[in-house]
Amino acid sequence: MSWSVSEVRRMSGVTSRTLRHYHHIGLLEPEDVDPGGRRRYGRRELRRLQRILLLRELGLGLAEIRRVLDDERDEVTALRGHLSTLEAERGRLDTLIETVRRTVDALEGDDVNAIRPEELFEGFDAGRYEERARSTWPEQWERARAATEEMSPEEADRMRAEAVERMERMAAHLRAGTPVDDPAVRAEVADLHRGLTRMWTPDAAAFAHLGRVYAEEGPWREVHEKVAPGLADYQRAAMEDYAHHVLAEDGER
């Protein structure tokens, strides 16, 4: 008793292409092939196909399925390994979904979540930092002061708005659990760095220091934390990573 491709197709619902594929990769060989080259499947093959389909439905890859069926690799072990893969995947999806949802909310500007720059920087007093900046990098401080002085109010507003946008994007990375050395975060920090070069060009040490200043207790930190909890520290870590691995000459691999 043996069955042709179309009979197997009718019985099991798999397409002939799938059967050919399984034959090709040696996962399911026909019982025999008649002189005309047509495949014939016996009872054993149908049982095997049945097991293949069950395991496939459970999400195992064909290579893994072959290992289970041929090497008689322990099915339970294989499935348990697969299970943790699946759970990790679901965890990834969970945070991804959460991140996308928040990003949508932020972009929508729901009035509730909307952060207006004026409000964010309200009561902001950089005075405390001026002193130190002036004494540590007097030249850069002078250039920065000159640059900000030349700015029109509209320009200043736009800069603040841009800063908020950057914070929002950074917060998205933070919520996604993206490591600080990920390309996307690197690109973001690189952009921040490029933005700063309009006033001065911080080297590795200065850039890392700036990150730490942002994260210190004080108005800078508050502004960041108002956008998202943990943002200040996250950004500091990202900036330090950038300083070490990108700006420092000896930091590259």
Partner DNA sequence: CTTGCGGTTGACGCGACGTCAAGATCTAAC
Partner DNA sequence: GTTAGATCTTGACGTCGCGTCAACCGCAAG
Please count the residues of this chain forming the interface with its own copies, following the rule CB under 8 A: 54
Binding site partner of 97, from its own copies, DNA, none, Cβ cut-off 5-8 A by kind:
its own copies
Binding site partner of 35, from DNA, its own copies, none, Cβ cut-off 5-8 A by kind:
DNA
Distance between CA atoms of 122 and 191, rounded to whole angstroms? 25
239 binds its own copies (CB under 8 A): no
Rg of the Cα trace of the chain? 30
160 binds its own copies (CB under 8 A): no
Torsion-angle region of residue 27: left (phi > 0), alpha (psi -120 to 50) or beta?
alpha
* 102: Cα within 13 Å, side-chain hemisphere: 16
**3, β-bridge pairs:** 41
Please count the residues of this chain forming the interface with DNA, following the rule CB under 7 A: 22
Binding site partner of 29, from DNA, its own copies, none, Cβ cut-off 5-8 A by kind:
none
27 binds its own copies (CB under 8 A): no
Binding site partner of 103, from DNA, its own copies, none, Cβ cut-off 5-8 A by kind:
its own copies
Helix (H, G, I), strand (E, B) or coil at 174: helix
Site string for DNA, 22-41 (x = CB under 7 A): ------------xxxxxx--
Q: Residue 77: exposed, middle, or buried by beta-carbon count in 10 A (0-12, 13-18, 19+)?
A: exposed
Site string for DNA, 42-81 (x = CB under 7 A): --------------x----xxx------------------
**Of residues 94-133, those binding its own copies (CB under 8 A):** 94, 96-97, 99-101, 103-104, 107-108
Return the C-alpha torsion angle 58, 60, 61, 64, nearest 10. Answer: -140
Distance between CA atoms of 179 and 140, rounded to whole angstroms? 31
Q: Are 4 and 40 in contact (CB under 8 A)?
A: yes
**Of residues 162-181, those binding DNA (CB under 7 A):** none
The stretch near its own copies (CB under 8 A) out of 85-93, 119-127, 134-142, 231-239 is 85-93
**Positions in the binding site for DNA (CB under 7 A):** 4-7, 9, 15-21, 34-39, 56, 61-63
